[in-house]
Homo-oligomer: A and B are copies of this chain.
Amino acid sequence: MDGVHDLGGKQGFGAVGHGPQAKVFHSDWEKRINALYAIAVRQGIFNMDEYRHAIERMEPRHYMCASYYERTLTSLATLCVEKGVVTHAELETLAGGLFPLARALGTGRTNVPNRSSYNPGDWVRVRDLYVSGHVRLPSYIRGKVGRVIAVSPPYPFPDAQAHGVQAQDEPTYDVQFHSHELWSDAADDALVHVGVFESYLEPLT
């Protein structure tokens, strides 16, 4: 999904709010929500891909302006409503006000059928891929060329997992890109490593 969550390389943002005031939590409810979503995952109410995708499905302005734990809270509530654990109306009654949830879930997809596997040292191209459902491809690597540095063991395929679609597990590749391949001369000189699922790659021909 080409959503506002896909922030890598986006410009116009100010300084990072780094400093002695940095904190993990700013209030007690943040700790409790962080605990609750993890409990819901452990109870099997939803998986981590569903959790991440429900955050991405938040109305874009809501996503942009919410704090991190408000995003957690919205994903947790959305999935609990979608899975039938609680109703939206009940949540609003309990909260004593409107309770904005994420927008509706679309369709997922399974693995790409004709995918190749790669070895460290292989040059690869990221597919020019557009997926309306969940996808863990940051748009800044779309269509770009990089080199495989390492291979991980197979993981569940997020494009399927977030939508309850059957799929095979896939290795992810540690792919190294040069920042100038990604953003021409409008970036600092660096190597950027991204964990890329096999279905997102094609051999460099």
Partner of A64, one of B56, B65, B186: B65
Task: Report A19-33 CB contacts with B as 1/0, cut-off 8 Å.
Answer: 000000000000000
Question: A86 at the A/B interface (Cβ < 8 Å)?
Answer: no
Set of chain B residues within 8 Å of A103, measured between Cβ atoms: 12, 14
Q: How far is the CB of A35 from chain B (nearest CB, A)?
A: 28
Task: Report A174-192 CB contacts with B as 1/0, cut-off 8 Å.
Answer: 0000000001111100000
CB of B131 within 8 A of CB of A186, answer yes
Stretch in A1-9, A71-79, A164-172, A197-205 touching the partner = A1-9
Set of chain B residues within 8 Å of A185, measured between Cβ atoms: 130
Partner of A2, one of B3, B4, B9, B58: B9
Partner of A4, one of B12, B183, B186: B12
Set of chain B residues within 8 Å of A2, measured between Cβ atoms: 9-11
Set of chain B residues within 8 Å of A14, measured between Cβ atoms: 59, 103
Question: A143 at the A/B interface (Cβ < 8 Å)?
Answer: yes
Partner of A128, one of B9, B13, B184: B184
> Could you list which residues of chain A lie within 8 angstroms of chain B, going by C-beta atoms?
1-4, 9-14, 56-61, 63-65, 103, 128-132, 143, 183-187
Set of chain B residues within 8 Å of A11, measured between Cβ atoms: 1-3, 132
Q: In the assembly, what is the distance between CA of A63 and CA of B10, in Å?
A: 14
Q: Which residue of B lies closest to A129 (CB)?
A: B184
CB of B59 within 8 A of CB of A61, answer no
Set of chain B residues within 8 Å of A59, measured between Cβ atoms: 12-14
Q: Which residue of B lies closest to A10 (CB)?
A: B2
Q: Could you write out 28 A-B pairs with CB less than 8 Å apart?
A: A1-B12, A2-B9, A2-B11, A3-B10, A3-B11, A3-B12, A4-B12, A10-B60, A11-B132, A12-B56, A12-B58, A12-B59, A12-B60, A12-B103, A13-B59, A13-B60, A14-B59, A14-B103, A61-B65, A64-B64, A64-B65, A128-B184, A129-B184, A130-B184, A130-B187, A131-B186, A132-B186, A143-B143
